[in-house]
Structure 1
Amino acid sequence: MSAVNKLLVLYTGGTIGMQMSAAGLAPASGFEARLRGQQALESGRQLPPWIFRELLPPLDSANMTQANWLSMRDAIVQAVDADGCDAVLVLHGTDTLAYSAAALSFLLLDLTVPVLLTGSMRPAGSPGSDAWSNLFGAMQALQQGVPAGVQLFFNGALLHGARVSKLKSDAFDAFSVLPRRRQGEAVAILPGHLDYRQPRQPVNLAVLPLFPGLQAAQVEALLASGVRGLLLECYGSGTGPADNAALLAALKSAHGRGVVLAAISQCPHGHVEFGVYAAGNLLQQTGLVSGGGMTREAALGKLFSLLGAGLSQAEVEHWFVRDLCGELVE
C-alpha cells in the first residue's frame, strides 16, 4: 500500500459534475478545469499526481448500462497496463454507483492497483455540497495507501465494492455495507479466464423479486425475452411459491435451455439457505444456485462478468457460488 505516483481520474458524469439546465440538473463536461481550479484552493492537502479522462457523453447514472461498465473497465485497464497508472479514481453518479462498484469488482479481478469510486449527493460548487470532500478525501486515501481492489469512498468511509448498497436517497451517508451472512468457499488461485484481462460482452440479464400473486405467465414472458441469466430475489432464506407447479415448471424448463438461475434473499440482512424450508428445497430443484449473502448489486455484477466472459451454464454455476473477491466471505 505505497503512495500513488500516477492516478487516473476517470469522470463518467453524475451529480458531482452536474450543472443547471432548462430542464434541471444535467450531466456536464469540462470537469477537469473545475477540479484543477478547486485543487489550487486546497493547497494544504497532500494529493497524488493525476491525469484526467472523461467518458463521453457524461451520464446521469440512472442511464448506466452494461456497455458503460465495459467502457470503464477498458479505460481502467488501459490506464494501468499501458499508461503506468498505479491507482484509479472513478467519478460516478450515486443512483447506480453500487451497481458499478460491484460490476467492476468482478471485471477487474486480480488487478494489482486500487480502484476507488466516488460521487456526491449535491453538485460541486452548490451550497453545502459533499462533492469536494468526497473527491479529495478519496485522493488523500489513495495517497496514504489503499489495498488493491475495488472500493467505494463516500462520506469519509471506505466500503467494499462488492458488498455496498445505496440505502438513502437524500443523505450524505447514503451508502453502507449491510451485515449479511457471508460464508462460502474462497478461491485461492483465480483462473486466467476470470481475471481483468479477459474481455467481456454484454449479456441479457433480468432480476425478478418474488411477490404474492406472481403468475407463471409473467415469469414465462420474462424468460421468453432471451435472458441468459435470471436473478430471483427470494423470500427469507430462499423460499418462494413452491405450490405453483406452473411457475416451477417454467423455471425448470428455462434451466434446461441453458439459462442460469440464481437466488438471493430480499431481506436486507438476509442470505439464502435452501435446506431450511421445504419451499426452498422445491425451488432449488428447478436449477437455482444460491447467492448466499450477496447483495442484488453483487449478484448481478457477478452474473454479468461470468456470462460475459463466455462461460458455459455449468461453469457459471460453479464460480457463482464461490467467493472471488470478498462478496461471499469476510
Structure 2
Amino acid sequence: MNPASPRPARSIMVLYTGGTIGMQASADGLAPASGFEQRMREELSTRTDLAPWRFREMAPLIDSANMTPHYWLRLRDAVIDAVDGGCDAVLVLHGTDTLAYSAAAMSFQLLGLDTPVLFTGSMLPAGVQDSDAWENLTGALQALTDGQPAGVQLFFHGELLPPQRTTKVRSYGRNPFVALKRNALTTTASTLPVALSYRQPRQPVDIAVLPLVPGISADLLRAVIHSGAQGLVLECYGSGTGPSDDQDFIHALEQAHSRELVVVAISQCHEGGVEFDIYAAGSRLRQAGVLSGGGLTREAAFGKLQWLLGSGLSFEEVRRLMELDLV
C-alpha cells in the first residue's frame, strides 16, 4: 500500500468541476461558468516550464455546495479515463465548500491507482482583485510537474495536505484548509478484498451524520435508523463518549446494530480521536455496537463509509475494514 516514488508528470489532465475558481457574476450572484479552459490557456501561455496538460469540463458544472456521492462516482470514472488515455497525473478544480469531502472520498475510491491526483480551487474567482485562483492552479501544476507520489492530496496556498486529516476551517482568506492533528487507526490492513479495487463498480449509498449535543433525544437516532440510511457517522464528545446513562439512547444504538446499520464514532474535537476504553461512557457505546473511527475527520469517515458500503461488501466485512487503516 506504499505509494510509488514521486516522478515528474509528462501529461496532466485538468478536470474542471466548477467552483469559485471559474465562477462569473450572474443575476443571482456568482455561478459556475463554462469557458475556463480558454482563460487558463491565456494565463499560462508563457509557462513553458509546466508539463503539457489537457482539459476536460465536467457536466454539469456545479457550485460545490451541490456536490453529491453520485457526482463522486462520475469524477472517479473521469480520473480513470484520463489515466487510461495516457495522462500520468490529474488535477481536479473544485469548489472549496466540499473540496475536503471530495478529496477524502477520492482517496478511498481511487485506492490502488498508481497516479498522483491533486485537488485545488480558490476562495475568489480567477481574474478578480486579490484572487488566489492562478496562484493555486499554477502551484498545483508545478507540484505535479516536479513529481508527486501516487494517491490523492489537496494543494492550497503552496501547501500539500492529506485528505484523511484535512478540513475547511475558514470561510475567508487564502488559507481555508487545515490538516488536523488526528490519531491514526492502530491496525493497518495487510490485504484488501478485490471488490475494493478502484476499477470495480460502485453504488452511492445513503450515509447520515449525527452530532451529539447535551440532551439529544433517542427519537432523533431512531429517525435515522428508520430513514433507510445504510451508515451513520456519530460525532461523539472527546475521546468517543456519549449519553451512556440514557438507556433509551443505548437501546436505539443496539437496534441500529441489529438492523445492520453501520455506526461509526468520530470525535468532535479538532485533535486526537476516538479511544472508547478511556471512559465508561465510551465503552458503553462500543458494547452497543458502535465502531471506532479513530482519528478520522467527518469528511474522511463519510467518504470511507461511502466506499465500503457502496462496494457490496457484507455488513461484518464493512465493520471489520472500517476500523483498519486502509490508505
Q: Specify the TM-score bucket, using the shorter chain as the normaliser.
A: over 0.9
- 2:39 aligned partner, one-letter code: R
Does 1:246 pair with 2:251? no
Structure 1 unaligned residues grouped into runs of 5+ = 326-330
Q: Which amino acid aligns with 2:72?
A: W
CA distance in structure 2 between the partners assigned to 1:262 and 1:308 by the alignment: 16
Q: What is the CA–CA distance in structure 2 between the aligned matches of 1:15 and 1:240, rounded to whole Å?
A: 38
Q: 1:54-95 deviations in whole A, cap 9, x for unaligned?
A: 1111110001000111110010011112x0110100000000
The 5 A counterparts of 1:213-228 are 213-228=215-230
Root mean square deviation of aligned Cα: 1.0
Report the Cα offset of residue 45 of structure 1. 5.4
What is the Cα deviation at residue 192 of structure 1? Answer: 2.3
In structure 2, the residue matched to 1:154 is 156
For residue 267 of structure 1, what is the aligned residue in structure 2?
A: 269
How many residues get paired?
322
Letter in 1 for 2:25: M
- In the TM superposition, residue 44 of structure 1 has moved relative to its aligned partner by 4.5
8 Å contact kept, 1:252–1:286:
yes
Q: Report the counterpart of residue 286 of structure 1 in structure 2.
A: 288
In structure 2, C-alpha distance between the alignment counterparts of 1:187 and 1:284, rounded to whole Å:
21
Q: Name the aligned partner's letter for residue 72 of structure 1.
A: L
Give the aligned residue type for 2:298: R
Structure 2 counterpart of 1:16, which letter? I
Q: Which runs of 4+ in 1 moved over 6 A?
A: none
Measured after TM superposition, the shift of residue 312 of structure 1 is: 1.2
Aligned equivalents of 2:279, 2:270: Cα separation in 1: 19
Instruction: Give deviations 1:79-125, integer Å, cap 9, x for gaps.
Output: 112x0110100000000000000000000001000000000000000
Mapped to 2, the partners of 1:67 and 1:77 lie a distance apart of: 16
1:26 to 20, 31, 37: 31
| 1:15 to 2:47 alignment | no
Give the conservation status (yes or no) of the 8 Å contact 1:164–1:178: yes
How do residues 124-139 of structure 1 correspond to structure 2 at under 5 angstroms?
124-139=126-141
Q: Which residue of 1 aligns with 2:117?
A: 115
Superposed, 1:308-319 pairs within 5 Å as 308-319=310-321
Shift of 1:302: 0.3
- Give the aligned partner of residue 328 of structure 1: none
AA matched with 1:32: E
SS in 2 for 1:141: helix
CA distance in 2, matches of 1:240, 1:220: 16
User: How has the CA–CA distance of structure 1 residues 160 and 36 changed in structure 2, closer, same or farther, with 3 Å as cutoff?
Assistant: same
Query: Residue 97 of structure 1: which of 99, 121, 126 is its match?
Result: 99
Q: Secondary structure at the match of 1:73?
A: helix
CA separation in 2, counterparts of 1:144 and 1:215? 53
Shift, 1:270, TM fit: 2.8
How has the CA–CA distance of structure 1 residues 53 and 44 changed in structure 2, closer, same or farther, with 3 Å as cutoff? closer
Contact 2:165 2:182 in 1 (8 A): no
TM-score, with structure 1 as normaliser: 0.96
CA distance in 2, matches of 1:190, 1:154: 31
Q: Which residue of 1 aligns with 2:76?
A: 73
2:206 alignment partner, one of 204, 207, 231: 204
| 1:188 positional shift | 3.4
Alpha-carbon distance in structure 1 between the residues aligned to 2:243 and 2:189 = 33
Question: Could you tell me whether the CA contact under 8 Å between 2:262 and 2:315 is conserved in 1?
Answer: yes
* Aligned-residue identity in percent: 58
1:45–1:140 CA contact under 8 A, matched in 2: no
